[in-house]
Amino acid sequence: MRLRDKALGEGVFMPTGLLSHVNSEGDIMNIKELGAEFIGTLGLVLGGCGAAVFAANFGSTDAGGVLDGGTSLGLGFLGVSLAFGLTVVTGAYAVGHISGGHFNPAVTAGLVAGGRFSPAKLVPYWVAQVLGAFAAAAIIYVIAKGQDGWSIDNSGAGAFAANGYGDLSPGGYTMAAAFITEVVMTAMFLIVILGATAKKAAAGMGGLAIGLMLVLIHLISIPITNTSVNPARSTSQAIFAGGDYIPQLWLFWVAPIIGGVIGALIYRFILGDAEDVVV
């Protein structure tokens, strides 16, 4: 049996396992769901962070990432923002019918708070997402090492596309500014996710709306935190960047999850309809 799912609109279908922790055969977890979250998060980090590492400043920096006065052929903020959004759009339509296409622990937490996802699946999804992000970061690292002289300078902002505040913020923003930004951006992200996937929303358009919202979020917040709104993405890059990125990582778990829950509760109790609550 398959139920009509609202993760990407009326035209997308998903196994009933997404709506209940135990499927019809009594299995605790559908391994395909976790595999889809792993692959989807891997694609998100590979596409978004890979664009930031390889292509954001291409032509204007040396192998060590230091500006050398060359002519930039890079993507810049706009290109990196589009890369993150495109990975969500393509991932959502590719595997969203399997797992719901979360690819983000803050999204999973928000969907639980919004009554769209089983709390029992929260931790397994988080594990799959973090592992997928780490795998993507490892791939980026191995490829980047193939350039002679390349290294990670973790003393500066944006090293290996990692997130930070203070001296590790691209624009030098404070911890308070970073925290507020991540909470607000993630809250708005969840409002869009829940609204775009509601039963009354345009059928099949949820993935596009969600991806475009992620582009907008990056356009706003790359200068502030290098944009997280996704604890898995922040964790993978911080592990490889090392240095002070590790002790700053707490903010990029706490703030996005708080924001995701706030956004979900706003939608659930102020904007949404009872018919959208499934658990």
Residue type for 108, please? T
Long-range contacts of 16-21 (CB under 8 A, 24+ apart): 18/99, 18/100, 18/117, 18/118, 19/118, 19/278, 19/279, 20/118, 20/279, 21/118, 21/120, 21/121
Q: Where are the alpha helices (DSSP H) in the chain?
A: 31-54, 76-99, 105-113, 122-144, 175-196, 206-225, 231-241, 251-266
Rounded to whole angstroms, the Cα distance separating 92 from 207 reads 6
> Which of 216, 241, 250 lies closest to 53, judged by CA?
241
Q: What is the pLDDT of residue 138?
A: 98
The answer to whether residue 119 scores a pLDDT higher than 90 is yes
Query: Counting runs of H as helices and runs of E as strands, what totals does the chain give?
Result: 8, 2
Residue 93 token pair = 């339509």
Give pLDDT, residue 61.
58
pLDDT tens-digit series, residues 17-59: 333 333 434 344 589 999 999 999 999 999 999 999 999 888 7
More confident residue, 138 or 203: 138
Distance of CA 197 to the CA centre of its chain: 17
| 3-state SS class at 203 | coil
Task: Provide CB contacts within 8 A for 85, sequence distance 6+.
Answer: 211, 212, 213, 214, 215, 218
More confident residue, 204 or 71: 204
Q: What is the mean pLDDT of residues 163-187?
A: 98
- Rounded mean pLDDT, 219-241: 98
For residue 248, what are its two tokens?
A: 């700053």
Reply yes or no on whether the pLDDT at 6 is more than 70. no
Query: Residues 137-165: what's their mean pLDDT?
Result: 96
Mean pLDDT to the nearest integer, 251-257:
98
pLDDT at 214: 98
pLDDT level of residue 80 (50, 70, 90 thresholds): very high
pLDDT level of residue 64 (50, 70, 90 thresholds): low
Number of Cβ atoms within 10 Å of the Cβ of 242: 13
The pLDDT assigned to 270 comes to 96
* Contact call for residues 2 and 17 (beta carbons, < 8 A): no
H-run or E-run covering 256: helix 251-266
Around Cβ 190, how many Cβ atoms within 10 Å? 30
DSSP at 14: E
Q: What is the mean pLDDT of residues 81-92?
A: 97
CATH fold of 23-276 reads Glycerol uptake facilitator protein (1.20.1080)
Length of the chain: 279
Q: Is the pLDDT at 72 greater than 90, yes or no?
A: no
Is-contact 7 14, C-beta < 8 A? yes
Beta-carbon neighbour count of residue 78 at 10 Å? 12
Residue 102 has pLDDT above 90, yes or no: yes
What is the pTM for the complete model shown? 0.87
Q: At what angle do helices 105-113 and 122-144 cross, to 10 degrees?
A: 160
So what's the pLDDT on residue 89? 97
pLDDT band at 66 (very low <50, low <70, confident <90, very high): low
